[in-house]
């Protein structure tokens, strides 16, 4: 049920994002989903890739600070209210969304939202109890 995500700390300067993507491309690593958040000094690039361990190793070899954590990928109807329904399943369960990002494979079908929760097991239980489909890591890595 859980998906491995890597987080790369980047100086907020021209070319650093391009450098990361080139390193991954040269290592034949495919980016499946990403999120980039920045401040004036640095950014955090969060990636789901098809080979987490290889990506982490190759980026560290090139001097990047890389962390790994677990997130979950949830299938959400791609229609108005789709996300509201997912969040409603978490209401009253004492679970906090730390961050999230989304992507759509084909418009009009289902979107996939990547969630980082403070209480990941509680979130999984609540979502499963509500009938929400949570994707396995292998499903996300192969999209």
Domain boundaries defined on the chain: 2-68, 71-141
Judge if 2-68 and 71-141 fold alike in CATH terms. no
Render pLDDT for 57-78 as a digit per residue (tens, 0 to 9): 999 999 999 999 999 999 998 8
Q: What's the confidence (pLDDT) of residue 41?
A: 82
Residue 116 and residue 68 in contact, taking contact as beta carbons nearer than 8 Å: no
CATH of 71-141, one of 1.10.10.10, 1.20.140.10, 3.40.50.450, 3.30.70.260: 3.30.70.260
Exposed (0-12), middle (13-18) or buried (19+): which is 112, by Cβ within 10 Å?
Answer: buried
Q: How far is 58 from 90, CA to CA, in rounded Å?
A: 37
Residue 129 and residue 61 in contact, taking contact as beta carbons nearer than 8 Å: no
For the full predicted model, state whether its pTM sits above 0.75.
yes
Render pLDDT for 68-105 as a digit per residue (tens, 0 to 9): 999 999 999 888 999 999 999 999 899 999 999 998 77
Structural tokens at position 99: 């961050």
Residue 10 and residue 20 in contact, taking contact as beta carbons nearer than 8 Å: yes
In which band, very low, low, confident or very high, does the pLDDT at 42 lie, cut at 50, 70 and 90?
confident
The dotted CATH code for 2-68 is: 3.30.2130.10
């Amino acid at each position: 049920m859980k998906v491995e995500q890597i987080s790369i700390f980047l100086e907020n300067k021209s070319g650093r994002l391009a450098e990361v993507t080139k390193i991954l491309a040269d290592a034949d690593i495919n980016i499946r989903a990403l999120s980039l958040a920045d401040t004036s000094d640095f950014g955090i690039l969060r990636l789901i890739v098809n080979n987490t361990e290889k990506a982490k190793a190759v980026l560290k070899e090139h001097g990047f600070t890389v962390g790994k954590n677990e997130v979950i990928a949830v299938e959400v109807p791609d229609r108005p209210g789709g996300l509201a329904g997912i969040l409603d399943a978490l209401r009253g369960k004492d679970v906090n969304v730390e961050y999230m990002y989304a992507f759509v494979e084909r418009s009009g079908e289902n979107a996939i939202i990547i969630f980082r929760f403070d209480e990941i097991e509680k979130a999984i239980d609540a979502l499963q109890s509500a009938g929400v489909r949570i994707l396995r890591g292998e499903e996300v890595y192969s999209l």
